């Protein structure tokens, strides 16, 4: 789940959409120093053959920044009945963030 211009990228959750596409969710960003990070929620969608889905986000990838992204990351991912992708995760230690993304 690589993201251009980032040094800290990890996937923590994966789900399979009804059409067979794979969505990986986690974090993407950069480590600025030993204890400071600049990270955002990150999603990547892959089609059945394992290639990034260029119709999703920017070349198959989406990032969402919340401003002060000290260690922002997605842990759970859920698909709603209409295909919307719902994720939740941490942002800066004690903060909880929830975001919805269009799944189509």
Position with higher pLDDT, 12 vs 6 = 12
Q: How far is CA 17 from CA 23, 33, 39, 96, in A?
A: 7, 37, 26, 25
pLDDT value, residue 23: 94
H/E/C letters for each residue in 69-88?
CCCCEEEEEEECCCCCEEEE
pLDDT in tens, 52-71: 999 999 999 998 887 665 67
pLDDT value, residue 66: 75
pLDDT in tens, 71-102: 778 889 999 988 899 999 887 667 788 889 88
pLDDT in tens, 9-18: 888 999 999 8
């Amino acid at each position: 789940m690589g993201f251009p211009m980032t040094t800290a990228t990890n996937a923590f959750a994966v789900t399979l959409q009804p059409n067979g596409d794979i969505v990986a969710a986690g974090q993407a960003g950069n480590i600025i120093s030993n204890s400071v990070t600049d990270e955002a929620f990150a999603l990547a969608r892959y089609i059945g053959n394992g290639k990034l889905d260029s119709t999703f986000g920017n070349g198959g990838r989406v990032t969402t920044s919340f401003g002060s992204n000290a260690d922002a990351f997605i842990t759970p991912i859920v698909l709603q009945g209409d295909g919307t992708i719902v994720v939740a995760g941490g942002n800066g230690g004690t903060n909880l963030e929830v975001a919805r993304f269009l799944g189509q």
